[in-house]
């Protein structure tokens, strides 16, 4: 009986040691990519982003927000690139609190910056992932129109979408398309794009200069 109990104790000790080694190794594999404070002036916590695993085509990231006592938010994200991603804190939805942008892939031309957007919840400083943000490159906030905007380049064509946030999803509202010296403005209504204006401009003018022209006036009055 004593021998049987001794064997059980030895097995438990072995499992405990194995767990400690595995747990320690897990943390050694983390590579810190980004560290910053996040939140508003009244409530600020630490944001940490780690590289957990890198393969030939993908990188797995761990995103954590912690206060002085505990981790209050954690999420993993797989991005389609093996290079170190571009990471930025910037207000994207106009609430004055900086949001998190993580580069998701790096297109060949490099002009369409594709990122995953995490909006910061001001109440508890947790992050809301906007999964479809990868379809809207070069995100920024238009303070004049109070829309999130996305800028895209396709050869000689330039497009700009004005977007609304609905349930952690970016929803297009207006689109400006420039080809040569023609600028066309369309509006999404009842799931159909409706043309609301067209203008001939100097072909040398490119977006973002174009957003100071008449298309913005058309958008703001519709």
Q: Record the tokens describing residue 101, joined without a space.
A: 């942008």
Q: Are residues 113 and 184 in the same domain?
A: no
Bridge partners, 141 (sequence order): 148
The contacts of residue 30 (CB under 8 Å, 6+ apart) are 50, 51, 52, 62
Q: Are residues 81 and 155 in the same domain?
A: no
Q: How far is CA 211 from CA 31, 33, 100, 192, 220, in A?
A: 41, 35, 25, 23, 12
The tens digit of pLDDT for each residue in 48-61 reads 999 999 999 999 99
Any idea how long the chain is?
A: 222
Q: Are residues 203 and 118 in the same domain?
A: no
Cβ atoms 157, 179 nearer than 8 A: yes
The contacts of residue 64 (CB under 8 Å, 6+ apart) are 47, 48, 49, 50, 71, 73, 74
| 115 domain residue, yes or no | yes
Q: What is the pLDDT of residue 6?
A: 45
Question: Confidence band (pLDDT; 50, 70, 90) for 143?
Answer: confident
Helix (H) or strand (E) holding 196: strand 192-200
Cβ atoms 50, 61 nearer than 8 A: yes
- Stretch 150-157: mean pLDDT: 84
User: Among 135, 151, 180, where does a domain finish?
Assistant: 135
Question: Confidence band (pLDDT; 50, 70, 90) for 178?
Answer: confident
Q: Are residues 63 and 152 in the same domain?
A: no
User: Among 103, 135, 167, where does a domain finish?
Assistant: 135
Q: What is the pLDDT of residue 198?
A: 81
On average, the pLDDT of the chain sits at: 80
- CB environment 14-46: b (16+ within 10 A), e (fewer): eeeeeeeeeeeeeeeeeeebbeeebbeeeeebb
Q: Are residues 126 and 162 in the same domain?
A: no
- Stretch 135-159: mean pLDDT: 88
CATH of residue 147's domain is 2.40.128
Cβ atoms 220, 211 nearer than 8 A: no
- Stretch 167-184: mean pLDDT: 88
Q: How many domains does the chain have?
A: 2
The tens digit of pLDDT for each residue in 75-116 reads 999 999 999 999 999 999 998 889 999 999 987 656 789 999
Cβ atoms 174, 192 nearer than 8 A: no
- CB-based burial label for 198 (10 Å; 0-12, 13-18, 19+): middle
Q: pTM of the prediction? A: 0.78
Q: What is the pLDDT of residue 197?
A: 80
Note down the domain range covering 167.
136-222
Q: What is the pLDDT of residue 126?
A: 84
| 16 domain residue, yes or no | no
| 86 domain residue, yes or no | yes
Q: Are residues 144 and 213 in the same domain?
A: yes
Share of the chain above pLDDT 70, in %: 75
Q: Are residues 39 and 117 in the same domain?
A: yes
Q: Has residue 179 got a pLDDT over 90?
A: no
- Stretch 129-135: mean pLDDT: 96
User: Among 135, 161, 186, where does a domain finish?
Assistant: 135
| 7 domain residue, yes or no | no
| 24 domain residue, yes or no | no
Return the half-sphere exposure (C-beta side, CA atoms, 13 A cut-off) of residue 74: 7
């Amino acid at each position: 009986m004593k021998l049987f109990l001794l064997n059980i104790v030895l097995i438990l000790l072995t499992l405990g040691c194995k767990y400690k080694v595995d747990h320690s190794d897990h943390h050694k594999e983390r590579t810190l990519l980004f560290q910053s404070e996040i939140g508003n002036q009244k409530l600020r916590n630490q944001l940490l982003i780690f590289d957990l695993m890198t393969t030939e085509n993908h990188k797995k990231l761990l995103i954590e927000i912690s206060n002085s006592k505990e981790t209050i938010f954690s999420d993993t994200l797989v991005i389609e690139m093996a290079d170190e991603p571009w990471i930025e804190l910037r207000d994207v939805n106009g609430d004055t609190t900086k949001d998190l942008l993580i580069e998701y892939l790096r297109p060949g031309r490099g002009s369409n910056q594709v990122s995953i957007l995490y909006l910061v919840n001001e109440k508890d400083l947790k992050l809301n992932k906007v999964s479809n943000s990868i379809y809207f490159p070069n995100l920024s906030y238009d303070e004049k129109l109070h829309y999130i905007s996305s800028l895209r380049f396709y050869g000689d064509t330039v497009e700009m979408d004005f977007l609304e946030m609905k349930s952690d999803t970016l929803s297009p509202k207006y689109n400006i398309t420039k080809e040569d010296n023609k600028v066309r403005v369309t509006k999404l209504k009842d799931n159909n794009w409706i043309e609301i204006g067209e203008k001939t401009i100097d072909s040398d003018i490119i977006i973002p200069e174009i957003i100071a022209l008449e298309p913005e006036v058309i958008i703001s009055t519709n």
